[in-house]
A and B are shown apart, each in its own frame.
Chain A
Amino acid sequence: MAMSKNVRQALGLTGHYSGLILFAIFTTFPFLWALASGLSADASKMYLFPDGFWPHDASFMWFERVFQEMPFLTYTKNSAIMSFFTIIGVVVVSVLAGYPLARMKFPGRGLIFVAIIATMMLPSEVGIVPNFITLKNFGDFGNWIQESLGLGSSWNMREWIGLNSYFGAIIPNFAGAFGIFLMKQAFEAIPQDLIDAARVDGATEMQILWKVMVPVTAPSIAALAIFTLVNAWNDYLWPSIVMNSKEKLPLAVGVFNDLTGPFATSDNILMAAIVMTVVPVLVFFAFTQRYFISGMDGAVK
């Protein structure tokens, strides 16, 4: 029996949307669960299904408790500082490494690129021990400078660049194969004419890079910044190894240290803290997403 066109269309759309809705639920349910638990003053329903997915006895009590139980603002400030400088570091390294790989001819170019990509195959844990030793030596070096210059021990330069420093917690993330690969691809996509035009206009190689190539690849840089932000913001393992003073911990480590474990107060306060941890990233994304869409329009043809 032939179905009418409308019925078939309706069935198709229903299938389409139910698929999308299922996927949306699948990806958002951890956040929704955390949000519902954080907003529930009644903690007893948290692990019940489906009751756990909406607030019971809704209040902001747990969110207020977060500020009392742990130095949330200090952690946020630390995370912000570390993420900001990680983004700067990653973008600068990726741009400076990606541009010659994409646009300059020099012997060994292919080999260098393969070596960089090969580091993606290694688990990041492999770097923990060598990085830790390197940082310890950095700290010793800082200390040596401090003593050579005859500065007092209050300068504590060991903690500027060594263990327990912001610098130490973020520096291993600067040179990432992903960022270099992404920027290389972006620079390769730029037409040669644009570079030639800048060269005829009198730009030096560095001016071509910063005044033409970087603005034109802004969408890729924005994408790289977002990825880097998410990674840096959520980075847990390395900072937890490097940092040993509470006032320098980032959010991910601080929330874990203060709100979980045998002496933890409640799971609801943990959920409230998690929600508050995620929000800054979402806000940043909301403000930067328009940069993803503008790009090469109007440059050539």
Chain B
Amino acid sequence: MASVTLKNIKKNYTKDVTVIKNVSLDIQDGEFVVFVGPSGCGKSTMLRMIAGLEDITAGELYIGDTLANDVHASKRGIAMVFQSYALYPHMSVAENMGFALKLAGTPKAEIEERVKKAAEILEITHLLERKPKALSGGQRQRVAIGRAIVRNPKVFLFDEPLSNLDAALRLNMRVELSKLHQELKTTMIYVTHDQVEAMTLADRIVVFHAGLIQQVGTPLDMYENPSNLFVAGFLGSPKMNLLEAEVIAASATEATVKLPKGLTVRAAVDASNAKVGDKVTMGVRSEHIRLVDAGTAEALPARVDLIEHLGDIVLAYIEIPGINQILCVKLPGHMTGLKYGDDIHILFPREETHLFDAEGLAFKRVR
């Protein structure tokens, strides 16, 4: 087991094409860290640099206390699970799992024992003699994970390992990966573009965007206190509702903003740096928007555009007259009475309203 430390890591493919701009990060021993971000944000490249499959243009990578920049992939003490599984098609499952040990010159008996032990953990003992082509997608994924476990690595690297599985299987494997981490207590770095995987698996999430780390934190902290607009929009499903607004009053505990058509909303944030007239973006998550009676103070009028019944919850897509933007409201599953065209009133709770400045940076929430 080992920690992983990134110091000012940069990656250029050519002089002009920079995919990782300047990344510094400390990953603790035994931590489960998830790199998340949209396609092309550099998260996979970062992982491949840690694995030793891409050169590091500048900066320092430490695995444990060792500077690993120029250490060969096989000598870094890492094991990697690929999105495509990358099983050797001409070898049986047991041979696939034991390949690294065989290359390292491990005695045959020990290879067999370690393969057997890993197979038991993953419940694939009955598949050991089969070739990859005789396995289902989920089984192949287990073998790929088994191949990593057998090596007894200091750090596990996962590159979107669940992307090729169907939804039900993905859920299963997610739970199993969590269990595996509990059991092995090895440092794990996991890349995904799926924010649900990130939220459920991670001890800490690292959000990447355009080659930079946007925010690092625990899943709940990131969800409740996104540091900028990108993180706010990326984490959470449905996405956070974001509206353009203008500051009309600001203090250290509260800001009042004006939406088009003269509607005002108050947010509990430290807006001491904001000035009246500043352009800002107001954000509120779908589950925090409240349905209220017409007479309630600060209630905003709205109209229902679409209703989606998901069983446990109802998603209502609504529009505030004068603001050309659809907002999503998450309501309890029993609220089946709403229908298209209904006039309703909503309230953005002051404590749950986020505010972002013109640069997209969040004002600190006051609670």
User: Counting CB contacts under 8 A, is A19 at the interface?
Assistant: no
Q: Which of A202, A296, A299 contacts B74 (CB 8 A)?
A: A202
Which A55-73 residues have a C-beta within 8 angstroms of B? none
Q: Which of B129-137, B244-252, B331-339 contacts A (4 or more CB under 8 A)?
A: B129-137
Question: Can you list, as one digit per residue, whether each of A272-301 has a CB less than 8 Å from chain B (1) or not (0)?
Answer: 000000000000000000000001111111
Question: Which B residues touch A299, using CB under 8 A?
Answer: 85-89, 132
Q: How many A-B residue pairs have CB under 8 A?
A: 86
Question: Which B residues touch A264, using CB under 8 A?
Answer: none
Q: Which residue of A lies closest to B82 (CB)?
A: A193
Question: Which B residues touch A202, using CB under 8 A?
Answer: 73-75, 100, 103-104
Which A195-219 residues have a C-beta within 8 angstroms of B? 196-203, 207, 212, 215-216, 218
User: Counting CB contacts under 8 A, is A194 at the interface?
Assistant: yes
Judging by beta carbons under 8 Å apart, are A191 and B131 in contact? no
Judging by beta carbons under 8 Å apart, are B52 and A191 in contact? no
Instruction: Please report the C-alpha to C-alpha distance between residue A299 and residue B137 in the assembled complex, in whole angstroms.
Output: 11
Judging by beta carbons under 8 Å apart, are A301 and B85 in contact? yes
Question: Which B residues touch A216, using CB under 8 A?
Answer: 88-90
User: Counting CB contacts under 8 A, is B78 at the interface?
Assistant: yes
Q: Which of A191, A218, A300 contacts B90 (CB 8 A)?
A: A218
Question: Can you list, as one digit per residue, whether each of B84-112 has a CB less than 8 Å from chain A (1) or not (0)?
Answer: 11111110000000011001100000000
Instruction: Please report the C-alpha to C-alpha distance between residue A296 and residue B90 in the assembled complex, in whole angstroms.
Output: 8
Judging by beta carbons under 8 Å apart, are B133 and A201 in contact? no
Judging by beta carbons under 8 Å apart, are B82 and A197 in contact? yes
Instruction: Please report the C-alpha to C-alpha distance between residue A296 and residue B78 in the assembled complex, in whole angstroms.
Output: 26
* Given A199-B53, A200-B53, A207-B103, A298:B82 Cβ within 8 A: no
Instruction: Please report the C-alpha to C-alpha distance between residue A25 and residue B133 in the assembled complex, in whole angstroms.
Output: 39
Instruction: Please report the C-alpha to C-alpha distance between residue A188 and residue B79 in the assembled complex, in whole angstroms.
Output: 25
Question: Which B residues touch A215, using CB under 8 A?
Answer: 88, 90
A111 to chain B, nearest CB (A): 21
Instruction: Please report the C-alpha to C-alpha distance between residue A197 and residue B48 in the assembled complex, in whole angstroms.
Output: 11
Judging by beta carbons under 8 Å apart, are B74 and A298 in contact? no
Judging by beta carbons under 8 Å apart, are A300 and B85 in contact? yes
Judging by beta carbons under 8 Å apart, are B84 and A300 in contact? yes
* Given A196-B80, A200-B78, A298:B87 Cβ within 8 A: yes
B302 to chain A, nearest CB (A): 45
Residues of A within 8 A of B (CB): 191, 193-194, 196-203, 207, 212, 215-216, 218, 295-301
Chosen A-B contacts, 21 in total, with CB atoms closer than 8 Å, are A191-B84, A191-B86, A196-B51, A196-B80, A196-B82, A197-B80, A197-B88, A197-B147, A198-B99, A199-B52, A199-B73, A200-B78, A201-B103, A202-B100, A215-B90, A295-B89, A297-B132, A298-B87, A298-B133, A298-B135, A299-B85
| Apart from the given pairs A191-B84, A218-B90, 6 other A-B contacts in the complex at a CB distance below 8 Å | A200-B52, A296-B89, A298-B131, A299-B88, A300-B87, A301-B84
Which 9 A-B pairs give the minimum distances between C-beta atoms?
A298-B133, A202-B74, A298-B132, A297-B133, A300-B84, A201-B100, A193-B86, A197-B86, A299-B89
